[in-house]
Amino acid sequence: MKKVVLFCAAGMSTSLLVSKMQKAAAAKGLDYEIAAHPLSEVDIHGPEASIILLGPQVRFKLNEIKAKFADKPVEAIEMRDYGMMNGENVIKHVAEVLGD
């Protein structure tokens, strides 16, 4: 199982996206555990992640988080996919990055 961890400003706005991502991953037969947390918890939940995704509101932290977690992929969620809550597109991107 791979862990997909999303971080946003407060950890709340991504909950709907997480739900849609879970459905999309299940439909594709991907064994992903997907969770969202506030960016303030990146040091707690980042180390266990297979991939870290940042919401558009915290994408300005991308380089800082990439430097902190140089051993894993760190990506910013596309603003359009985030705004449309397009979990299928986000999962497609995650699967490409993780080689699934």
* CA distances for 65 relative to 1, 4, 43, 91, angstroms: 23, 15, 10, 20
Tell me which residues are annotated as active site. 8
In angstroms, the CA 44 to CA 39 distance is 10
Tell me, what amino acid is at 57?
Q
For residue 98 the two structure tokens come to 């993780």
Q: Collect all residues with Cβ–Cβ distance below 8 Å to 30 and sequence separation of at least 6.
A: 2, 91, 95, 100
